[in-house]
Amino acid sequence: MFEGILWDPIFFLWLLSLIAVLVYLFGRLWNNSYNKGEQVEPFLSGNEEQESNYPHASDMYWGFTEALKDYYVSMKEMHSNVVNDYVYWFVVVLALTMLVVVVS
């Protein structure tokens, strides 16, 4: 599976190194007038970036979880944090496995 050059990780590494060197050399051609300062600062809606402005982890993928709301509601019910429910699911799987194995 790894015989071909397409999946050869060493080849990947050489290729990435080559691209990195080319990008560096290419960048050097026009960066004489480059002014380090506010150009490297992140731009957030025109406001200065502050700790309190930074999006929280829980803000991320809101659209994804909202689109799959029904799925996540049922999943949260399943993950009830009650040990009785943990045992319940184990018994369900055990019963189904036994049924399938014995019948087959």
Residues of this chain that bind other proteins (CB under 8 A): 1-2, 7, 9-10, 12-13, 49-51, 54-58, 60-61, 64-65, 68, 71-72, 75, 78-79, 81, 83, 85-87, 89-90, 92-94, 97-98, 100-102, 104
Encoded amino acid at 62, one letter: W
Minimum CB distance to other proteins smaller for 33 or for 81: 81
Q: How far is the CB of 29 from other proteins (least distance, A)?
A: 29
How many Cα atoms occupy the beta-carbon half-sphere of 79 within 13 Å? Answer: 5
Q: How far apart are CA 12 and CA 20, in angstroms?
A: 12
Provide CB contacts within 8 A for 47, sequence distance 6+. 53
Minimum CB distance to other proteins smaller for 13 or for 26: 13
Q: How far apart are CA 6 and CA 102, in angstroms?
A: 46
Q: How far apart are CA 38 and CA 99, in angstroms?
A: 67
Minimum CB distance to other proteins smaller for 25 or for 56: 56
Minimum CB distance to other proteins smaller for 31 or for 69: 69
Q: How far is the CB of 20 from other proteins (least distance, A)?
A: 14
